[in-house]
Amino acid sequence: MRTRELSTLALSALGLLSSCTSHNYAQNVKTIAFDANVTKGTPLGPIRGEDCTWTVLGVTLGARPTIMQAFVNAKEQSGAVASAGFGFISKQTGNEVRYINNATTGSDGFNAYLLAKECFVVTGLGYR
């Protein structure tokens, strides 16, 4: 009976380990367009958009970060406070990105046990 309990426990642990999520990342995607305007834009240079979540003393502040929100923050060129999930920060007007060339996605952050930051990041060459 003891062997059966251990094998059940081992299968349960294996199931939990295999349920961990992993994310696929994009590298050097030629163009990500945010509108239907096909005319060549004015280059803004390298841009970065991120969506982050902070964890303080084991308590997560806000929702989990998403790639979609990282793209929205890249498009709107939101500041670091807005990308941390605080919606009361207004975006910069007149600085919105129409499309991104050579877009790359990835993750960023740190874990200092008492304080942690988890982010999805979008970088590329922005055009207005």
Q: Is the pLDDT of residue 84 over 70?
A: no
Residue with the bigger pLDDT between 49 and 78: it is 49
What pLDDT sits at residue 32?
A: 79
Tokens for 116? 């942690």
Residue 20 has pLDDT above 70, yes or no: no
Q: Given this model, what pLDDT does residue 81 score?
A: 54
More confidently predicted of 65 and 93? 65
Contact predicate 83/49, CB 8 Å: yes
The contacts of residue 80 (CB under 8 Å, 6+ apart) are: 50
| In the chain, where the domains are located | 26-127
Mean pLDDT of 9-25: 44
pLDDT (tens digit per residue) in 57-82:
989 998 999 989 998 999 888 765 55
Place of tokens 């207005």: 128
